[in-house]
């Protein structure tokens, strides 16, 4: 996106400036999305040769976390990384800093500071690039001259990851005035009533009503082919949990719960399983003709509880509440009572026996949830055959066969819970290779009363389909009325 520079002549506030100055206002918008992470942002100047003339700011995760250090994700700022980042040793004093919350942020740089001190007079372009985990990326450009001969103001309006970007520059020893900055509404900004609704939801989460970690990455199984033929038919399947679809960049999927169902309903053993740093891999031999269902099925109990120490920490956090910026999204939640925060203890994939023996006798506020999650894909050798639901948890029942999908053709599917129609569920569908485009381009649908939905997938490729819900139909008395259900499928769409 490019924007034109204009000379400010009205609506001015008088502020004297005694050295050449560049002020940049960058707005990070509040977005109406289910999962929010603070964006990485790079701000730099380019010359007429489109090379970096000066790095002004880079905002990224600067602390070590369970996922590693934030420098791992700096290459996702693709244009900045290509032109400057790959040769820059971060952190850099005065340039690098932590990610910023939703709001308006100001860079105020004078000509005597290192970023601009050696900048030759001439025409430049201000570039701001933003990228967000489980989101998109955006780049805006605004031309300007340095040093300014008169006070100059520019403006560009982002459409997704950025809001308004408004640079202002003044010449040396200038007493000219800077324009009043007005931030127009962002096209994807959450309405106030949604803000309030989400705040209430977050309060409920912090209070512990649903205090289990939320999935921040996409799980998937990716077969080497979905349609095969011949006597010696095999497929190799990649299994991972990643940020970018079908590009392993986070952790491998565990293979303990693989279920490979042959066309005749029998269960097959996967061959040559290997788990590496970022992905797991296994092979499946397809001896029968028909459709194979390859799934990773996780079913079990999870428990979370407080201790005296965690309760004391929660009380201390309540007495000293976090600043409003912490509510910028789920990724901003912190503290002992927050999902994934420092609570007393946690068990995952537990059995009833684990609950009885591994939860301390003095544990407080014990919460047990039953969960059933299915991540799957489908492969057909020769002619297709029917796909039958197991009757447990949330599942996809194809009306249009999952190995007979073509770009531009309408397909129909049904979702069922324990074999019964799942009405009113929201489905998200994303075409793979998100690494190679600037937006997720999600397709959303909602199931009808009979659990069905239709969709026309516009382009060939691998697609990721996801749905989730919760109910009280637990099979374990320890879980009470808390059952969580999730479903993910990888579907291949072929060209016409």
Largest interatomic CA distance in the chain: 84
pLDDT score, position 179: 52
Region 128-145: mean pLDDT is: 89
CA distances from 154 to 4, 79, 111, 130 (A): 7, 21, 18, 19
pLDDT score, position 419: 95
- pLDDT, tens only, 198-207: 333 333 333 3
Percent of the chain scored above 70 by pLDDT? 81
- Look at the block and give the residue holding tokens 């403006």: 155
Note whether 129 and 247 are same-domain residues: no
DSSP structure class, residue 269: -
pLDDT over 50 at 326, yes or no: no
Query: Which of 140, 157, 190 finishes a domain?
Result: 190
Query: Which of 135, 169, 190 finishes a domain?
Result: 190
Per-residue pLDDT band at 245 (split at 50, 70, 90): very high
Q: How many CB atoms lie within 10 A of CB 275?
A: 16
**Are 402 and 386 a contacting pair, CB within 8 Å?**
no
pLDDT score, position 45: 94
Per-residue pLDDT band at 300 (split at 50, 70, 90): confident
Region 143-164: mean pLDDT is: 88
- pLDDT, tens only, 342-390: 557 888 878 888 888 888 888 888 888 899 999 999 999 999 999 999 9
C-alpha 123/C-alpha 47 separation (Å) is: 7
Strand partners for 342 = none
**Are 96 and 58 a contacting pair, CB within 8 Å?**
yes
**Are 442 and 428 a contacting pair, CB within 8 Å?**
yes
pLDDT score, position 186: 52
Is this model's pTM higher than 0.85 or not? no
Positive or negative: CA dihedral 376, 381, 384, 385: negative
Strand partners for 130 = 41, 138
- pLDDT, tens only, 14-25: 444 446 788 999
Q: Read out DSSP for 114-164?
A: HHHHTPPSEEEEEEEEEE-TTS-EEEEEEEEEES-SS-EEE-EE-SSS--E
Note whether 336 and 356 are same-domain residues: yes
pLDDT score, position 3: 44
Q: What is the mean pLDDT of the chain?
A: 82
Note whether 172 and 220 are same-domain residues: no
Note whether 160 and 72 are same-domain residues: yes
Structure tokens at 328: 């910028």
Note whether 337 and 352 are same-domain residues: yes
Query: Which of 173, 190, 207 finishes a domain?
Result: 190
**Are 163 and 29 a contacting pair, CB within 8 Å?**
yes
Note whether 209 and 137 are same-domain residues: no
Report how many domains make up the chain. Answer: 2
**Of the ranges 20-29, 62-71, 164-173, which one carries the lowest mean pLDDT score?**
62-71
Per-residue pLDDT band at 76 (split at 50, 70, 90): confident
C-alpha 71/C-alpha 196 separation (Å) is: 34
Dihedral, CA atoms, 420, 421, 427, 433, nearest 10 degrees?
60
**Sequence-ordered list of residues with C-beta below 8 angstroms from that of 182, at least 6 positions apart, any chain:** none
pLDDT score, position 208: 36
Burial 471-495 (b: 16+ CB within 10 A, else e): eeebebebbeebbbbbbbbbbbbee
Region 421-441: mean pLDDT is: 92
Note whether 184 and 260 are same-domain residues: no
Structure tokens at 478: 């320890």
Note whether 117 and 211 are same-domain residues: no
DSSP structure class, residue 181: P
**Are 73 and 133 a contacting pair, CB within 8 Å?**
yes
Note whether 270 and 385 are same-domain residues: yes
Write out the E strands in 400-442.
410-417, 420-421, 426-431
- pLDDT, tens only, 271-286: 999 999 999 999 999 9
pLDDT score, position 172: 65
> Which residue range forms the structural domain that includes residue 158?
5-190
Note whether 163 and 232 are same-domain residues: no
Per-residue pLDDT band at 294 (split at 50, 70, 90): very high
Note whether 80 and 180 are same-domain residues: yes
- Look at the block and give the residue holding tokens 């019964």: 420
C-alpha 433/C-alpha 461 separation (Å) is: 9
Note whether 303 and 410 are same-domain residues: yes
């Amino acid at each position: 996106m490019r924007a034109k520079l204009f000379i400010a002549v009205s609506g001015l506030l008088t502020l004297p400036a005694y050295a050449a100055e560049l002020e940049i206002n960058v707005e990070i918008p509040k977005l109406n999305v289910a999962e929010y992470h603070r964006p990485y942002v790079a701000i730099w100047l380019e010359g007429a040769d489109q090379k970096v003339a000066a790095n002004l700011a880079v905002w990224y995760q600067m602390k070590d976390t369970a996922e590693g250090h934030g420098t791992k994700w700096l290459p996702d700022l693709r244009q900045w990384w290509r032109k400057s980042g790959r040769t820059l040793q971060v952190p850099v004093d005065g340039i690098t800093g932590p990610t910023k919350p939703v709001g308006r942020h100001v860079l105020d740089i004078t000509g005597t500071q290192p970023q601009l001190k050696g900048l030759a007079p001439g025409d430049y372009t201000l570039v701001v690039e933003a990228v967000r985990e489980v989101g998109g990326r955006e780049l805006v450009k605004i031309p300007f001259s340095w040093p300014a001969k008169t006070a100059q103001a520019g403006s560009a309006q982002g459409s997704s990851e950025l809001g308004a970007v408004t640079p202002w520059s003044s010449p040396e020893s200038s007493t000219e005035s800077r324009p009043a900055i007005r931030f127009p509404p962002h096209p994807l900004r959450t309405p106030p009533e949604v803000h309030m609704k989400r705040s209430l939801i977050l309060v409920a989460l912090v209070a512990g009503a649903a205090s289990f970690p939320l999935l921040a990455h996409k799980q998937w199984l990716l077969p080497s082919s979905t349609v095969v033929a011949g006597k010696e038919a095999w497929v190799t399947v990649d299994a991972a949990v990643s940020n970018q679809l079908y590009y392993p960049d986070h952790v491998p999927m565990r293979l303990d719960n693989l279920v490979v169902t042959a066309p005749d309903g029998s269960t097959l053993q996967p061959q040559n399983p290997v788990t590496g740093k970022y992905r797991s891999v296994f092979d499946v031999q397809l001896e029968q003709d028909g459709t194979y269902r390859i799934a990773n099925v996780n079913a079990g109990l999870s428990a979370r509880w407080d201790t005296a120490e965690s309760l004391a920490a929660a009380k201390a956090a309540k007495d000293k509440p976090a600043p409003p910026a912490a509510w910028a999204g789920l990724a901003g939640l912190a503290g002992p009572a927050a999902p994934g925060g420092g609570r007393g203890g946690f068990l995952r994939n537990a059995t009833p026996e684990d609950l009885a023996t591994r939860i301390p006798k003095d544990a407080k506020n014990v919460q047990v949830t039953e969960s059933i999650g299915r991540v799957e894909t489908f492969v057909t050798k020769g002619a297709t055959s029917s796909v039958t639901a197991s009757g447990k948890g949330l599942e996809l029942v194809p009306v249009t066969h999952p190995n007979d999908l073509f770009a531009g053709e309408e397909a129909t599917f049904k979702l069922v819970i324990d074999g019964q129609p799942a009405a009113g569920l929201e489905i998200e569908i994303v075409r793979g290779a998100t690494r190679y485009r600037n937006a997720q381009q999600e397709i959303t649908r909602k199931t009808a009363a009979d659990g069905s939905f239709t969709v026309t997938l516009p382009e060939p490729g691998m697609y990721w389909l996801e749905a989730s819900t919760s109910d009280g139909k637990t099979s374990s008395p320890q879980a009470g009325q808390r059952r969580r259900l999730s479903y993910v499928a990888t579907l291949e769409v072929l060209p016409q």
